C-alpha cells in the first residue's frame, strides 16, 4: 500500500464576507482518508483530505452540515465514504455514493442506515457510474427516497435531457451545469434547465465555478450570469457546495474557499442565501 502525503492545502484564512446562517450546509465535498487507495479507472490521490482537515475548513467558513460525495479516485469502492460518515456523525453529515444496477439491496439499505442519500452519475472522464446506467440506478434507489447527483458538460445537455425527463426521483444538475465553455445566460440550454427545474424533481447546485469559468476569480462572471438566472428562476431548488479539496487544480491556481462562499453575495439575495444554504439542503437531505 502506498503512502499518500498529508494535506497541505490551506484550511484557514480571512473570514468570508458572507456570514453563514445557522445550519449552513456544504453540499459537495470529497474526502481522502488514510488506508484507502485509488482504484483502477480513477485519478490518483495527490494528498489526503481527512475529516479533521475538513472540520477546520468548516470552522473557517462557519458551516455546520456537510454532504460527502464519492470521489472518482475511489471509483465504486465506497468504504472510505462510509468511514468518513461514521466519523462526521449522522446529525450533521450525509453522503452520495457510487451505485450500480447490480448493487445488492442489502448494501443499499445498510448504506442508507449510515447516511447515504444519493447516487453519483458522472459523465466526465474518470466517472465511476455514467449516464448509460442512470435510469437503472434510479430504479434501484427510488424505494429509499434517494436522489441522483448528475454531472455532465452542459454544452452537451441535448445528449442527456430525454433521460433526465424520464427520472421519477429527485436529481441534482451539478456544478452550475458545468458548461465548458460557458454559454450566455440566455442560451437555449439554460432555458432547458429552467424547464427541468419547473418539473419539480430537479435541483441545481452552485459549486466549483472555477472549473468551467474562463473569466477571473472570484467573480466568475461568465458562469455567474448562468447562476444568477437559475437562482432567480427557482431559488427553492438551489443548493451550494465548496467542492473542497479542489483536486486536479494546481496550487498556483488554487481557489479561495472563502471566495467559493462569497459568490452568493453577488449571485443571490439574503433571502435566497437562506434557502440555498439552509432550507433547501435540509429538505433534500433530511437534516
Q: Would you state the cell numbers that stand for residue 264, as one nine-digit string?
A: 452568493
Burial class (CB in 10 A: 0-12, 13-18, 19+), 135: middle
Domain 25-285 listed as CATH 3.20.20.140: yes
Q: What integer pLDDT is reported at residue 2 of this predicted model?
A: 66
Residue tagged 491556481 (cell numbers): 253
Q: Return the pLDDT at 243.
A: 98
Residue 61 is predicted with a pLDDT of 98
Q: What are phi and psi of 154, to 5 degrees?
A: -60, -25
- Scanning the structure block, which residue is given the C-alpha cell 427520472? 167
205: which strand partners? 239
Going residue by residue through the chain (287 aa), what tens digit of pLDDT does each one get?
568 999 999 999 999 999 999 999 999 999 999 999 999 999 999 999 999 999 999 999 999 999 999 999 999 999 999 999 999 999 999 999 999 999 999 999 999 999 999 999 999 999 999 999 999 999 999 999 999 999 999 999 999 999 999 999 999 999 999 999 999 999 999 999 999 999 999 999 999 999 999 998 899 999 999 999 999 999 999 999 999 999 989 888 999 999 999 999 999 999 999 999 999 999 999 99
Which residue, 62, 63, 45, is CA-closest to 9? 45
Number of other residues whose CB lies within 10 A of the CB of residue 2: 7
**Model pLDDT, residue 248:** 86
How many angstroms separate the CA atoms of 160 and 89, rounded?
35
Cα gap 53→61, rounded to integer Å: 13
- DSSP for the chain, written as a single string: ---PPPP-S----SPPSS-PPTT-EEEEE--B-TT-PPPTTS----S-B-HHHHHHHHHHHT--EEEEEPPGGGTT--HHHHHHHHHH-TTTEEEEE---TT--HHHHHHHHHTTEEEEEEE-STT-SS-GGGHHHHHHHHGGGT-EEEEE--GGGGGGTHHHHHH--S-EEE-GGGG-SS---TT-HHHHHHHHHHHTSSEEEEEE-GGGT--S-TTT-HHHHHHHHHHHHH-GGGEEEE--TT-TT--GGGPPPHHHHHHHHHHHS-HHHHHIIIIIHHHHHHT-
**What pLDDT score was predicted for residue 216?**
87
**Distant-in-sequence, close-in-space partners of 162: CB < 8 Å, separation ≥ 6:** none
Give the active site residues: 243
Q: pTM for this structure?
A: 0.97
Q: Which three cell numbers stand for residue 99?
A: 451505485
Between CA 268 and CA 264 the distance in angstroms is 5
User: At residue 267, what are phi and psi to the nearest 5 degrees?
Assistant: -100, -15
Distance CA 281, CA 287 (A): 8
CB of 267 within 8 A of CB of 227?
yes
Number of residues that make up the chain: 287
Each domain of the chain, given as residue ranges in start order, spans 25-285
Amino acid at each position: 500500500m502506498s503512502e499518500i502525503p498529508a494535506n497541505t492545502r490551506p484550511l484557514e484564512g480571512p473570514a468570508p464576507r458572507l456570514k453563514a446562517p445557522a445550519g449552513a450546509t456544504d453540499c459537495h465535498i470529497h474526502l481522502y482518508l488514510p488506508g484507502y487507495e485509488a482504484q483502477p479507472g480513477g485519478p490518483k490521490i495527490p494528498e489526503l483530505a481527512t475529516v479533521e482537515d475538513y472540520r477546520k475548513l468548516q470552522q473557517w467558513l462557519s458551516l455546520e452540515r456537510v454532504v460527502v460525495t464519492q470521489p472518482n479516485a475511489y471509483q465504486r469502492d465506497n468504504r472510505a465514504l462510509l468511514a468518513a460518515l461514521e466519523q462526521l456523525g449522522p446529525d450533521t453529515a450525509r453522503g452520495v455514493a457510487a451505485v450500480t444496477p447490480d448493487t445488492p439491496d442489502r448494501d443499499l439499505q445498510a448504506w442508507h442506515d449510515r447516511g447515504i442519500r444519493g447516487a453519483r452519475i458522472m459523465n466526465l472522464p474518470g466517472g465511476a457510474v455514467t449516464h448509460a446506467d442512470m435510469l437503472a440506478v434510479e430504479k434501484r434507489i427510488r424505494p429509499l427516497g434517494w436522489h441522483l447527483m448528475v454531472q455532465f458538460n452542459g454544452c452537451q445537455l441535448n445528449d442527456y435531457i430525454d433521460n433526465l425527463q424520464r427520472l421519477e426521483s429527485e436529481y441534482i444538475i451539478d456544478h452550475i451545469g458545468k458548461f465548458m465553455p460557458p454559454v450566455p445566460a440566455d442560451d437555449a440550454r439554460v432555458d432547458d434547465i429552467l424547464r427541468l427545474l419547473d418539473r419539480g424533481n430537479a435541483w441545481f447546485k452552485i459549486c466549483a465555478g472555477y472549473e468551467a469559468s474562463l473569466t477571473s476569480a472570484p467573480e466568475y462572471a461568465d458562469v455567474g450570469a448562468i447562476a444568477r438566472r437559475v437562482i432567480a428562476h427557482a431559488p427553492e431548488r438551489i443548493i451550494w457546495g465548496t467542492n473542497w479539496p479542489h483536486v486536479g487544480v494546481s496550487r498556483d491556481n488554487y481557489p479561495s474557499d472563502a471566495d467559493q462562499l462569497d459568490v452568493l453575495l453577488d449571485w443571490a439575495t439574503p433571502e435566497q442565501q437562506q434557502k440555498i444554504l439552509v432550507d433547501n439542503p435540509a429538505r433534500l437531505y433530511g437534516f
